[in-house]
Structure 1
Amino acid sequence: MKPKRSKMTIPDPLLGLLSRMGSDLSAARRAQAITQDDMAGRLNVARRTLIRMERGDPTVSLGAYATAAWVLGLEERFLSGFHPGTEEGREARLALPKRVRQPAADLDF
């Protein structure tokens, strides 16, 4: 069963990654011998929502996925993609502008 798509378009490669993340979530839960009912209770979501998460449903909130990673002790791994990595990466991130604005339209009368 394919997850329903929301109004926004999800790129196909991202759907594949979400599917793999859901599969990894399911495997980590089972490796720790946590039932779906218990995991759903820890996440404060319905069991049906957990099933959707384990299928990689893109309509489930990022917060639910992050909380699942935390419950399983995988939060650092889950959020590592957003970490700047090296000290140079951190400095480069700090040097970024606070806001990005549209360039002013060239009004040529």
Structure 2
Amino acid sequence: MPKLRAFEISPLPLEVQASLEHLGQRIAKERKARGLSQRELADMAGISAQTMMFLEQGRPTVQIGHYARAAWLLELRDVRLLGGLSVHAE
């Protein structure tokens, strides 16, 4: 029997999924504004281009640390997930 991932057993609440999608869109927008390709930002973040693509789509399978690293690299100072978790670039 194949291993089930946690989100397959219990899907993320819609609010959480919407937050991930919004964050992914913000990261994509800022990446494009800086003239970076997905591959370039992925290399900077130490992840694959496919993971970066999934991150920008807001997929729940992407580790939250990858979202945080991308936001930090792009100096997104006001990133919040569900009004609690913050990523601050200083």
Question: Do both share a fold (TM > 0.5)?
Answer: yes
Counterpart residue number, 1:67: 69
Q: How far did 1:13 drift?
A: 2.1
TM superposition score normalised by structure 1: 0.63
Relative to 1, partners in 2 of residues 1:55 and 1:82: Cα closer, same or farther, differing over 3 Å?
closer
Cα 1:6–1:25 shift into 2, 3 Å: farther
Percent of paired sites with the same residue: 28
Number of matched residues? 78
Aligned to 1:77: 78
Question: C-alpha separation between the residues in 1 aligned to 2:34 and 2:20?
Answer: 21
CA-atom RMSD in angstroms = 1.9
User: 1:102 maps to what in 2?
Assistant: none
Rg comparison, structure with higher value:
1
- In structure 1, stretches of 5+ residues that fail to align are 84-109
Unaligned runs of 5+ in 2: 1-6
* 1:4-83 to 2 correspondences below 5 Å: 5-74=7-76, 76-78=77-79, 81-82=84-85
